[in-house]
């Protein structure tokens, strides 16, 4: 039986480079050294790690073989990042809500967590 999460955390897609960089830091591997291990140019790897270039399937497989981060997870993160970026660029939506006075704290929490604009 599935359970309901009473305190869901907002999901924000991140570029897979944001997942790889901390792994390299944790393992004490420099970007230059990792580029050499992967057989790619340091500048190319730097662009991927900094979210300026998309992660390719080929590079994701090399990363999995080198440090064990699953290529499927990295590529899924890339796809989600691209989808969210596209939606954010092309779709802006305004929603009006009427919240009872007793629930103003809820509205303030939504503003804090999600950055929604609010008028009282």
- N-term to C-term CA, the chain: 40
Count of positions (residues) in the chain: 120
How distant is the alpha carbon of residue 114 from its chain centre?
A: 15
Locate all alpha helices (DSSP H) within 1-120, ordered by sequence.
17-27, 31-38, 42-49, 57-67, 71-90, 104-114
pTM (2 d.p.) = 0.65
| pLDDT for the residue 83 | 87
Each residue's pLDDT tens digit, 74-117: 998 899 889 888 865 555 455 555 555 566 666 566 566 555 55
| pLDDT for the residue 3 | 54
Q: What is the mean pLDDT of residues 26-36?
A: 96
| pLDDT for the residue 86 | 81
Each residue's pLDDT tens digit, 32-61: 999 999 999 999 999 999 999 999 999 999
What secondary structure letter does DSSP report for 40? S
């Amino acid at each position: 039986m599935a359970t309901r999460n009473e305190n869901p955390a907002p999901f924000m897609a991140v570029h897979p480079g944001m997942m790889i960089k901390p792994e390299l830091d944790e393992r004490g591997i420099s970007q230059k050294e990792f580029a050499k291990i992967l057989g790619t140019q340091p500048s190319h790897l730097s662009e991927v790690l900094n979210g300026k270039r998309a992660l390719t399937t080929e590079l994701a497989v090399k990363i999995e073989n080198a440090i064990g981060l699953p290529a499927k997870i990295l590529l899924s993160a890339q796809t989600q990042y691209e989808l969210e970026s596209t939606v954010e660029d092309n779709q802006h939506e305004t929603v009006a809500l009427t919240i009872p006075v007793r629930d103003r704290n809820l509205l303030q929490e939504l503003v804090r967590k999600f950055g929604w604009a609010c008028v009282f």
